[in-house]
C-alpha cells in the first residue's frame, strides 16, 4: 500500500470513475444520489461535487477538499462530505469511501432501524471483506438513524468508531450504505458484498415469514 497515495492517486481517480459508472448502471445511485471520494494524499481528498449524476461521473464532477471537507478550489462538494472525512481521519488506511442508495441497503436499513445494527454470520460472502477469511465469523454493521444534519449523523457513528466495532461498512436507515477500503477496488467489493448480504437477509425474512 502506498502510504501517502501520491504515485497511485491518479489511478485512484480513474478507478473511482469506473466504479461510479458501473454502480450507476446497476441503479445504486439514482437521481444524483450517492457520493464518492478517494484519498490523494494524507490530508487531501478528491470528492464528488454536489448535484452530479454519479452514473455519468468524470473528472469535472470531482473536486479536491481537505480532511475537514474544506474545498481546495471553487465549487461545492457533496452535502455528505463530512461523513467521508470522518472515516479518512479515523482510518489512516482508508483511501476510498463509497456511498450508495442501493435498494437492499435502503430497505433493510429501514427494517433494522429499531435494532440499530445487524450482525451477519455464516455467509461465505463475508470473505469479501478485507481481513475476513472464513464464513465462521461475525460482522457487526451499525444502522444509524437518518438525519439531514451531517454533523449529528457523524456524531452517532463516533461511538462505534471509538470502540472499534465498525469496520468497512455501515448503514443509515432508509438512506443507504457507506463502505470504505484501502483502494477503490476494496471499497467497491465491500459495497457489492454488503448489498448482496442484505438482499439475502431480506429474502430469508420473506421465506421464513411464510
Ligand atoms: Zn446519501
> In this structure, are residues 104 and 94 in contact, taking their beta carbons and an 8 Å threshold?
no
175 in a domain, yes or no?
A: yes
> Which pLDDT tens digits describe the chain residue by residue (210 residues)?
344 445 577 899 999 999 999 999 999 999 989 999 999 999 999 999 999 999 999 999 999 999 999 999 989 999 999 999 999 999 999 999 999 999 999 999 999 999 999 999 999 999 999 999 889 889 999 999 999 999 999 999 999 999 998 989 999 999 999 999 999 999 999 999 999 999 999 999 989 886
Render pLDDT for 18-67 as a digit per residue (tens, 0 to 9).
999 999 999 999 998 999 999 999 999 999 999 999 999 999 999 999 99
209 C-alpha to ligand 1 centroid (Å): 30
CATH number at residue 44: 3.40.225.10
138 in a domain, yes or no?
A: yes
> In this structure, are residues 135 and 193 in contact, taking their beta carbons and an 8 Å threshold?
no
2 in a domain, yes or no?
A: no
**Full domain range(s) for residue 159:** 9-209
167 C-alpha to ligand 1 centroid (Å): 19
- Rounded CA-CA distance 72/65 in Å is 5
35 C-alpha to ligand 1 centroid (Å): 7
147 in a domain, yes or no?
A: yes
Q: What count of residues does the chain have?
A: 210
175 C-alpha to ligand 1 centroid (Å): 6
1 in a domain, yes or no?
A: no
139 C-alpha to ligand 1 centroid (Å): 22
How much is the pTM?
A: 0.94
153 C-alpha to ligand 1 centroid (Å): 11
4 in a domain, yes or no?
A: no
13 in a domain, yes or no?
A: yes
Number of domains in the chain: 1
14 in a domain, yes or no?
A: yes
Give the cell for residue 128. 469479501
Amino acid at each position: 500500500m502506498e502510504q501517502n497515495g501520491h504515485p497511485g492517486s491518479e489511478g485512484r481517480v480513474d478507478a473511482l470513475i469506473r466504479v461510479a459508472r458501473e454502480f450507476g448502471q446497476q441503479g445504486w445511485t439514482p437521481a444524483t444520489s450517492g457520493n464518492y471520494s478517494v484519498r490523494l494524499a494524507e490530508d487531501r481528498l478528491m470528492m464528488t461535487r454536489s448535484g452530479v449524476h454519479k452514473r455519468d461521473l468524470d473528472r469535472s464532477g470531482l473536486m479536491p477538499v481537505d480532511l475537514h471537507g474544506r474545498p481546495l478550489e471553487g465549487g461545492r462538494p457533496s452535502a455528505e462530505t463530512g461523513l467521508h472525512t470522518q472515516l479518512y481521519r479515523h482510518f489512516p488506511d482508508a483511501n476510498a469511501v463509497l456511498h450508495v442508495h442501493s435498494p437492499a441497503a435502503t430497505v433493510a436499513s429501514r427494517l433494522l432501524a429499531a435494532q440499530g445494527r445487524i450482525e451477519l454470520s455464516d455467509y461465505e460472502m463475508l470473505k469479501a471483506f478485507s481481513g475476513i477469511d472464513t464464513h465462521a465469523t461475525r460482522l457487526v454493521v451499525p444502522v444509524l438513524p437518518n438525519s439531514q444534519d451531517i454533523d449529528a449523523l457523524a456524531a452517532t457513528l463516533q461511538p462505534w468508531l471509538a470502540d472499534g466495532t465498525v469496520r468497512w461498512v455501515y448503514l443509515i436507515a432508509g438512506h443507504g450504505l457507506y463502505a470504505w477500503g484501502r483502494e477503490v477496488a476494496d471499497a467497491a467489493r465491500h459495497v457489492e458484498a454488503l448489498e448482496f448480504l442484505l438482499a439475502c437477509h431480506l429474502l430469508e425474512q420473506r421465506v421464513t415469514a411464510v
